[in-house]
Amino acid sequence: MAHLARLTLTPEEIERFTAQLAAVLGHADDVAALDLAGVEPTAHPLPLINVLREDEVRPCLDRDEVMAQAPAAEDGRFRVPRILGEAP
């Protein structure tokens, strides 16, 4: 789970969280055990479908202001460590 969630955990954290999460999931077993065949799931409290706006150009966030908050930027773009295994 930690790998899927992109979290690096220490062995101590894994041990502690495993016990704590087991207790929470144990509590959730009452929900898992209910017979709810035929009950529609609710994903959201509002019956909204495809909220659209007019397709027109509008002002957006200031690019320099946004980039100024990035941990690393270069030439108006976000800079990240190498994504592919080999350098070009």
Say whether residue 77 binds another protein (CB under 8 A): no
Say whether residue 62 binds another protein (CB under 8 A): yes
Give the C-alpha separation, 38 to 10, whole Å: 43
Q: State CA 35 to chain mean position distance.
A: 30
Partnered with residue 77 across adjacent β-strands are 74
88's tokens: 């070009």
Say whether residue 57 binds another protein (CB under 8 A): no
Say whether residue 55 binds another protein (CB under 8 A): no
Q: How far is the CB of 57 from another protein (least distance, A)?
A: 15
Tell me the longest C-alpha to C-alpha distance in the chain: 57
Say whether residue 15 binds another protein (CB under 8 A): no
- Residue whose entry in the numeric block shows the structure tokens 């957006």: 60
Q: Which residues bind another protein (CB under 8 A)?
A: 1-9, 13, 17, 20-21, 23-25, 27-28, 30-32, 34, 36, 39-46, 48, 51, 53, 61-62, 65-66, 69-72, 78, 80-83
